[in-house]
């Protein structure tokens, strides 16, 4: 999937080797409500749009990549249930479990700072546990052959963006010259969210009074407070990522973006040529939606990468 100012595209290689591309005209919330594009707010807006685009792209790609017989069995409700389960699993693993482990550690050690749920040591330990669980999760999933291919596509996606930003030709040979990590990646965003959440909760929670006489209920309430705080934390993290990108050639920019880039050694892998081709198709389609007719949505199928190159080249000449 690629997001461009005017369009969003999804390119999928089917089991038979053909390529199917969907291009949608961009529908940005900030275009309709300019205040949603203001600094401090736009991060939450972009997060919401990216999640919506990602879910739609996942549904489309799963439908296209499945064999015909499996495609008939899997309906929209199956995908919706799978996504809902994934969201619940993520909340339990990255919100509830680190909090509960920190609370339990405080009880075992007899530390009020760790058992209370409000002091800064609690949120430092909570954040470190969250980061550790995240690393363990992506590393373990990356051992699966299917997920390794996902990480290879992730790397190809970044290589294509690097080549485009550097003004290089969008060819597999050119993409191979660039790294698979990128400072504005979603992985970097997650790492930044964890770091910002530590600072955010360290400042917020000492101001809260005990909300229940039961220690366990207190922690449950604190977790419930944390969940909606994801939006302001995401908005602030987005601004941090933007700042780090502008300062990428300076020492502070490299320090801020460094952890996210390092974690991408796990979440991206060197891609194969056919995966680079899919990334190029997605990026060129997103940057040239007029070739697909300029409507709200268009879907085209190509026998292979060469046919796509010939078609989009002729479309540009005709324009």
Band of the pLDDT at 68, cuts 50, 70, 90? Answer: low
Residue 152: the pLDDT is 96
Residue 77: the pLDDT is 67
Band of the pLDDT at 46, cuts 50, 70, 90? Answer: confident
Residue 216: the pLDDT is 86
Work out how many domains the chain is built from and give that number.
1
Q: Which of 28, 22, 23 is nearest to 50 (CA)?
A: 28
- pLDDT tens readout for residues 261-309: 999 999 999 999 999 999 999 999 999 988 888 788 999 999 999 999 9
pLDDT at 44 over 90: no
pTM: 0.87
Residues pairing with 22 in the sheet: 10, 299
- Mean pLDDT, to the nearest integer, of 184-211? 90
Long-range contacts from 118-124, C-beta under 8 angstroms, 24+ separation: 118/205, 118/206, 118/208, 118/222, 119/205, 119/206, 120/202, 120/206, 122/205, 123/197, 123/198, 123/201, 123/202, 123/205, 124/198, 124/202
What length is written for the chain? 319
Considering the chain, what percentage of its residues have pLDDT values greater than 70? 94
Residue 156: the pLDDT is 97
Band of the pLDDT at 214, cuts 50, 70, 90? Answer: confident
Band of the pLDDT at 69, cuts 50, 70, 90? Answer: low
> In terms of pLDDT, which residue wins out, 58 or 221?
221
pLDDT at 132 over 80: yes
Q: Which of 28-37, 146-155, 197-206 has the lowest mean pLDDT?
A: 28-37
What domain range includes position 77? 2-318
- pLDDT tens readout for residues 71-118: 555 556 666 677 778 878 888 888 899 999 999 999 999 998 888 888
Q: How remote is the C-alpha of 43 from its chain's centroid?
A: 13
Given the structure tokens 């199917």, which residue do they identify?
20
Strand order in 297-302's β-sheet? Answer: 2-3, 7-13, 19-25, 297-302
Residue 84: the pLDDT is 79
Considering the chain, what percentage of its residues have pLDDT values greater than 90? 56
- Mean pLDDT, to the nearest integer, of 45-49? 85
DSSP single-letter state for residue 300: E
> In terms of pLDDT, which residue wins out, 43 or 267?
267
Average pLDDT for the chain: 89
- CB-CB contact of 43 with 193 (8 Å): no
- pLDDT tens readout for residues 221-261: 999 999 889 889 999 999 999 999 999 889 999 999 999 99
């Amino acid at each position: 999937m690629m997001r461009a100012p005017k369009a969003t595209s999804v390119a999928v290689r089917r089991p038979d080797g053909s390529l199917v591309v969907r291009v949608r005209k961009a529908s940005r919330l900030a275009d309709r409500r300019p205040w949603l594009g203001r600094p401090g707010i736009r991060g939450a807006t972009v997060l919401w749009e990216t999640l919506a685009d990602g879910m739609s792209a996942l549904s489309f790609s799963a439908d296209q990549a499945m064999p015909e017989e499996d495609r008939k069995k899997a309906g929209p409700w199956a995908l919706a249930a799978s996504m809902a389960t994934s969201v619940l699993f993520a909340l339990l693993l990255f919100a509830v479990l680190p909090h509960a482990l920190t609370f339990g550690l405080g009880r075992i050690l007899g530390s009020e700072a760790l058992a209370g749920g409000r002091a800064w040591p609690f949120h430092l330990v909570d954040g470190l546990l969250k980061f550790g669980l995240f690393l363990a999760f992506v590393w373990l999933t990356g051992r699966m052959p299917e997920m390794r291919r996902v990480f290879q596509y992730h790397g190809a996606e970044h290589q294509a963006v690097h080549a485009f930003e550097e003004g290089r030709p969008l060819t597999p040979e050119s993409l191979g010259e660039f790294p698979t990590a990128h400072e504005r990646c979603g992985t970097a965003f997650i790492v930044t969210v964890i770091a910002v959440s530590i600072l955010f909760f360290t400042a917020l929670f000492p101001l809260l009074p005990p909300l229940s006489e039961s220690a366990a209920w207190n922690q449950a309430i604190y977790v419930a407070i944390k969940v909606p705080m994801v939006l302001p934390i995401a908005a602030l993290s987005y601004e941090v990522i933007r700042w780090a990108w502008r300062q990428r050639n300076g020492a502070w920019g490299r320090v801020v973006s460094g952890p996210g880039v390092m974690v991408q050694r796990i979440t991206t892998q060197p891609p194969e040529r056919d995966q680079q081709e899919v990334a190029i198709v997605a990026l060129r389609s997103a940057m040239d939606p007029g070739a697909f007719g300029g409507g709200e949505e268009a879907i085209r199928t190509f026998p292979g990468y060469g046919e796509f190159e010939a078609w989009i080249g002729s479309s540009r000449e005709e324009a």
